[in-house]
Amino acid sequence: MNVTLPSDDEQAEAEAPETPRTAEDINALRKEIDYLDSEILRLVKRRNEVSKAIGAARMAAGGTRIVYNREMAVIARYRELGPEGRELAMALLKLGRGPLGR
């Protein structure tokens, strides 16, 4: 499986846009947010599928469904966003566990 990470140039392009000056600028930014939201939803759904597959494989092999040190690493990664990042990580982990992990 190949995972493509953004290059430094792509990351720089993703930085905050300039302050919008017109209603047209605001509308364009709102469209971008709508697009980003749809991408986030798509990725979260895929993340959940992968997480559930990992949990099922671990249980089939006699292991535990949840690996807490792995979850702590996920939470640490999202701390970059501040306190809300931790909450986001917790929500993603909870979604990925499915009904058995709640």
Q: Which domain holds residue 41?
A: 27-97
71 lies in a domain? yes
88 has pLDDT over 60: yes
Q: How far apart are CA 49 and CA 45, in angstroms?
A: 6
55 lies in a domain? yes
| Cα 50–chain centre separation | 12
19 lies in a domain? no
End-to-end CA distance of the chain: 29
What confidence tens digit (pLDDT) does each residue in 39-76 have? 999 999 999 999 999 988 988 999 887 889 999 999 99
Exposed e or buried b per residue across 47-83, where buried means at least 16 C-beta atoms within 10 angstroms of its C-beta: eeeebbeebeeeeeeeeeeeeeeebeeebeebeeeee
Q: What pLDDT is attached to residue 100? A: 58
The CATH number of whichever domain residue 40 belongs to comes to: 1.20.59.10
21 has pLDDT over 80: yes
- Higher-confidence position of 10 and 93: 93
Q: What pLDDT is attached to residue 102? A: 53
Packing angle of the helix pair 83-97, 23-60 (nearest 10 deg): 50
- pLDDT average, residue stretch 12-30: 82
- Number of structural domains (the chain) is 1
